[in-house]
């Protein structure tokens, strides 16, 4: 594997998930695989889980890890080609990515969308420039439109806990006070379609995800209908794709509560974190027995380790 940017970069999803579960059981079984190899984790945006879990995964494989908060510690990056750099940008992404590629055997990069220009965000400008100019394998640590390491951890979590071959999985929109990217929801939808679960998306009117991510999912604006009989409920806010980057409603009544959970098949409740308590997800669910948020966070390590292992093996 030379690129991990979406589920489409995975040859065999079942094999990757089972490799992650094996690594969870024996974290140090390949502790020399990454000896004398370096991973650079480049963050253009904040992170807790992605940073620490990917760092831990790389260390479990014996790799050396360099972390750079590019937004705060790096030179201001120019991403446009052919411009005269007489403004505020100091270094072009062509040189910056190329230099990092000289120091690293694998690069992980996080680059959120601006949520102003849909075409620019969905072209994955910054992520793709790194792929183009770094000259080494690249792992997405969340790009403008996808969060594949999170989605892989989510699939691992469902596979570990599902009680039927084809569980009913519901992705439900949740309220938020800030416009958030569609990346986690897009990515989760893409991986659910690939995993071939019974997959339902529910959101208020105006929050449809891009059709290429929705795939074969059943979509409804009726949250109660969606929740009926669900085995897993994935809670996430996203801003509008059609009215790009906008908040269209305060979402009264959309926060998942124990009362709503009664409609489900005693569903496990998932969220990628960070989560705003009492707004996106109720305290009672986060503190209750149905919450799987820490299972998901734990599985971020094994997801990252399985991907890095395949990259180091050149699979």
**Beta carbon nearer to ligand CP, 51 or 92:** 51
> Is the Cβ–Cβ distance between 260 and 223 less than 8 Å?
yes
Choice from 150, 157, 240, 290 touching ligand CP (CB under 6 A): 150
Residue 149 annotated as binding?
Answer: yes
> Is residue 275 at the binding interface for ligand CP, with CB under 6 A as the rule?
no
Distance CA 310, CA 307 (A): 5
> Is residue 48 at the binding interface for ligand CP, with CB under 6 A as the rule?
yes
> Is residue 256 at the binding interface for ligand CP, with CB under 6 A as the rule?
no
Q: How far is CA 47 from the centre of its chain?
A: 12
**Beta carbon nearer to ligand CP, 50 or 157:** 50
> Is residue 140 at the binding interface for ligand CP, with CB under 6 A as the rule?
no
Residue 147 annotated as binding?
Answer: yes
> Is residue 291 at the binding interface for ligand CP, with CB under 6 A as the rule?
no
Q: For residue 149, give Cα distances in angstroms to 37, 47, 132, 269, 305.
A: 21, 13, 21, 19, 10
Residue 36 annotated as binding?
Answer: no
Residue 119 annotated as binding?
Answer: no
Distance CA 170, CA 270 (A): 10
Q: How far is the CB of 59 from ligand CP (least distance, A)?
A: 17
DSSP bridge partners of 138? 3, 107
Residue 283 annotated as binding?
Answer: no
Distance CA 270, CA 285 (A): 10
> Is residue 49 at the binding interface for ligand CP, with CB under 6 A as the rule?
yes
**Beta carbon nearer to ligand CP, 253 or 274:** 274
Please provide the distance, in angstroms rounded to a whole number, between the alpha carbons at the two ends of the chain: 5
The contact set with ligand CP (CB under 6 A) reads 47-50, 142, 150, 272-274
């Amino acid at each position: 594997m030379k690129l991990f940017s979406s589920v489409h970069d995975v040859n065999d999803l079942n094999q990757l998930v089972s490799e992650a579960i094996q690594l969870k059981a024996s974290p140090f079984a390949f502790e020399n695989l990454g000896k004398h190899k370096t991973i650079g984790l480049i963050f253009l945006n904040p992170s807790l889980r992605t940073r620490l879990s990917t760092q831990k995964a790389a260390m479990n494989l014996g790799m050396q890890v360099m972390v750079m908060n590019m937004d705060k510690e790096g030179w201001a990056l120019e991403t446009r080609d052919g411009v005269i750099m007489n403004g505020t940008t100091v270094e072009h992404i062509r040189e910056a990515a190329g230099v990092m590629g000289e120091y690293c055997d694998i690069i992980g990069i996080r680059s959120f969308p601006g949520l102003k220009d849909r075409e620019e965000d969905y072209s994955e400008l910054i992520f793709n420039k790194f792929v183009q100019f770094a000259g080494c394998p690249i792992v997405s640590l969340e790009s403008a439109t996808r969060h594949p390491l999170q989605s892989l951890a989510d699939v691992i979590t469902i596979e570990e806990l599902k009680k039927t071959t084809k569980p009913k999985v519901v992705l439900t929109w949740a309220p938020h006070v800030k416009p958030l990217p569609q990346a986690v929801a897009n990515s989760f939808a893409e991986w659910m379609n690939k995993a071939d679960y019974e997959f339902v998306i529910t959101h208020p009117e105006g929050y449809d995800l891009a059709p290429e991510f929705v795939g074969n999912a059943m979509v409804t604006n009726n949250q109660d209908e969606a929740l009926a009989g669900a085995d897993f409920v994935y809670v996430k806010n996203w801003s509008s794709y059609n009215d790009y980057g906008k908040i269209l409603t305060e979402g009264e009544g959309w926060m998942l509560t124990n009362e709503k959970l009664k409609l489900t098949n005693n569903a496990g409740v998932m969220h990628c974190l960070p989560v705003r308590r009492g707004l996106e997800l109720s305290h009672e669910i986060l503190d209750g027995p149905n919450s799987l948020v820490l299972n998901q966070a734990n599985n971020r390590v094994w997801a990252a380790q399985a991907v890095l292992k395949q990259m180091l093996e050149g699979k």
